[in-house]
């Protein structure tokens, strides 16, 4: 039983590491505003699928790793991830019963809220300018969510992660 639990945790954290690598991968300058929030997509899936394993603490750690990886103000993305995952975890049963496209719409709105939280937190500690082009990430998250959901669900069922 312990081996199955360890394997499940390993697969979950491997998906987080892949999401962090995809988040750090460089994009061409003109396409940079369209970069999806891979870490948010993967985290939201695992919170919806296994809220007893992936929760606000996991989101805070991932957000801090994301900040360290980008070299930005420590805690900005951790705060944003913790707030958004709290909202998702609080309503996970309602979100589970929605269709993929309804989930994608809510995920896009949460991504937009996350970008605003991120800007607000950065603005409190330094002088930053709001870039409205960053909001395109919500649209791309909307498009990618059904595919990410189906891919991670297949992975979860293949390795019997509970």
Tell me which DSSP letter residue 33 carries.
Answer: G
Scan for tokens 């991968």, then name that residue. Answer: 25
Identify the band that residue 1 occupies on the pLDDT scale cut at 50, 70 and 90: low
Cα gap 156→11, rounded to integer Å: 8
139-160 confidence digits (pLDDT tens): 999 999 999 999 999 999 999 9
More confident residue, 2 or 119: 119
Identify the band that residue 29 occupies on the pLDDT scale cut at 50, 70 and 90: confident
Cα gap 142→111, rounded to integer Å: 9
> What pLDDT, on a 0 to 100 scale, did the predictor assign at position 123?
94
**Within a 10 A sphere around the Cβ of 91, how many other Cβ atoms?**
13
Tell me which DSSP letter residue 135 carries.
Answer: G
Handedness of CA 10, 146, 135, 55 (dihedral sign): negative
* Tokens read off for 159: 């390795």
> What pLDDT, on a 0 to 100 scale, did the predictor assign at position 33?
83
Q: For residue 101, what are the CA distances in angstroms to 23, 144, 155?
A: 23, 10, 20
34-84 confidence digits (pLDDT tens): 899 999 999 999 999 999 999 999 999 999 999 999 998 999 999 999 999
The stretch 100-126 carries a mean pLDDT of: 94
């Amino acid at each position: 039983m312990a081996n199955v639990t360890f394997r499940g945790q390993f697969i979950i954290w491997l998906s987080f590491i892949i999401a962090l690598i995809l988040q750090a991968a460089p994009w061409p300058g003109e396409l940079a505003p369209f970069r999806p929030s891979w870490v948010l997509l993967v985290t939201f899936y695992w919170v919806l699928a296994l809220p007893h394993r992936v929760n606000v603490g996991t989101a805070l750690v991932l957000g801090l790793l994301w900040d360290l990886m980008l070299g930005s103000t420590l805690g900005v993305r951790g705060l944003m991830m913790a707030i958004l995952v709290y909202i998702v975890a609080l309503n996970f049963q309602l979100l589970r019963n929605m269709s993929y496209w309804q989930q994608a719409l809510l995920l896009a709105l949460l991504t937009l809220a996350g970008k605003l939280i991120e800007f607000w937190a950065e603005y409190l500690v330094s002088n930053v300018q709001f870039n409205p082009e960053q909001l395109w990430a919500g649209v791309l998250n909307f498009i990618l969510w059904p595919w990410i959901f189906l891919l991670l669900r297949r992975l979860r069922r293949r390795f019997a992660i509970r």
